[in-house]
């Protein structure tokens, strides 16, 4: 299944008050895993950048002045996402801005039913706990040290990792045995897969000097050293 993890940066909170999108970042997933294909575009908002918004993402008027306007990149954006479901953190915010820009450019808008909101998933799974992207990175031990300021592509890449954890971890669709029916549901005895023995043992990674130093250290500990005990 193809999905698109998406994020935007804007000049403010409400397109109805004249605020615009200044950056779009998107990451393609196949069966919940990144494929390496991304979409990233800075956009000239055709207005000045408020100080409060600049402090969030660091995109100022001088930087954005020579970037294309949304009307000139909207079709390419729609071509990238195609008909894939969209994965967005706080989807209502990004969707209202995207649809505002698409409508201004006389392009097809996006139904809310296409959006999976990871904020709502997180609040449902962890009620009462912080559900910001940074908080979820801490919960799942995801490195977000590069996120000094908000950035649409970086945040999409981080959200792709968070989304994978929210839907079940690193292998959400892996089912051994070719069926999703659990042993308890089917009445079968529950079995645990265990690896078989290696056909040939791995070569030792210790050097002779390291082995000798270890034996010398153990000898100093006396007969009670755990290395001298046998199971």
**Per-residue pLDDT tens digits of the chain, which is 231 residues long:** 999 999 999 999 999 999 999 999 999 999 999 999 999 999 999 999 999 999 999 999 999 999 999 999 999 999 999 999 999 999 999 999 999 999 999 999 999 999 999 999 999 999 999 999 999 999 999 998 887 778 999 999 999 999 999 998 765 554 444 444 433 344 444 444 445 555 666 566 667 777 777 777 777 777 766 666 654
Tell me if 192 is assigned to some domain.
no
pLDDT in tens, 86-128: 999 999 999 999 999 999 999 999 999 999 999 999 999 999 9
Number of domains in the chain: 1
Q: One of 19, 57, 89, 150 is an active-site residue; which one?
A: 150
Enumerate the β-bridge partners of residue 2.
30
Asked, for residue 82, whether it belongs to a domain, the answer is yes
In a domain, 172, yes or no: no
| Domain contains 179 | no
Asked whether residue 205 is domain-assigned, the answer is no
Q: Which domain holds residue 108?
A: 2-166
Active site residue 150: yes
Distances (CA, A) of 88 to 34, 119, 123, 144: 15, 8, 14, 17
Q: Is 210 among the domain residues?
A: no
Task: With CA atoms as reference, report the closest residue to 97 among 6, 29, 228, 229.
Answer: 6
Q: What is the pLDDT of residues 118-142, one digit of tens each?
A: 999 999 999 999 999 999 999 999 9
Instruction: Indicate which CATH number applies to the domain containing 91.
Output: 3.30.420.10
Note whether residue 207 is domain-resident: no
């Amino acid at each position: 299944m193809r999905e698109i993890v998406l994020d935007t940066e804007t000049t403010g909170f409400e397109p109805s008050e004249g605020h615009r999108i200044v950056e779009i970042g998107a990451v393609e997933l196949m069966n919940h895993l990144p494929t390496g294909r991304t979409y990233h575009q800075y956009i000239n908002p055709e207005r000045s950048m408020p100080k409060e918004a600049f402090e969030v993402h660091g995109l100022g008027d001088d930087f954005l002045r020579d970037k294309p306007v949304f009307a000139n990149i909207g079709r390419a954006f729609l071509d990238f996402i195609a008909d894939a479901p969209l994965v967005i953190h706080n989807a209502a915010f990004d969707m209202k801005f995207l649809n505002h820009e698409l409508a201004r450019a006389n392009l097809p808008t996006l139904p809310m039913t296409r959006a999976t909101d990871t904020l709502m998933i997180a609040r449902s799974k962890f009620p009462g706990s912080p559900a910001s992207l940074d908080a979820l990175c801490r919960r799942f031990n995801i490195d977000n040290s590069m996120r000094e300021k908000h950035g649409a592509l970086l945040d999409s890449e981080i959200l792709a990792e968070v989304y994978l954890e929210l839907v079940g971890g690193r292998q959400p669709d892996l089912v051994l045995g070719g069926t999703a029916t659990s042993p308890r549901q089917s009445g079968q005895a529950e079995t645990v897969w265990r690896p078989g023995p290696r056909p040939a043992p791995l070569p030792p990674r210790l050097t002779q000097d390291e082995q000798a130093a270890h034996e010398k250290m153990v000898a100093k500990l006396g007969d009670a050293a755990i290395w001298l005990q046998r199971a």
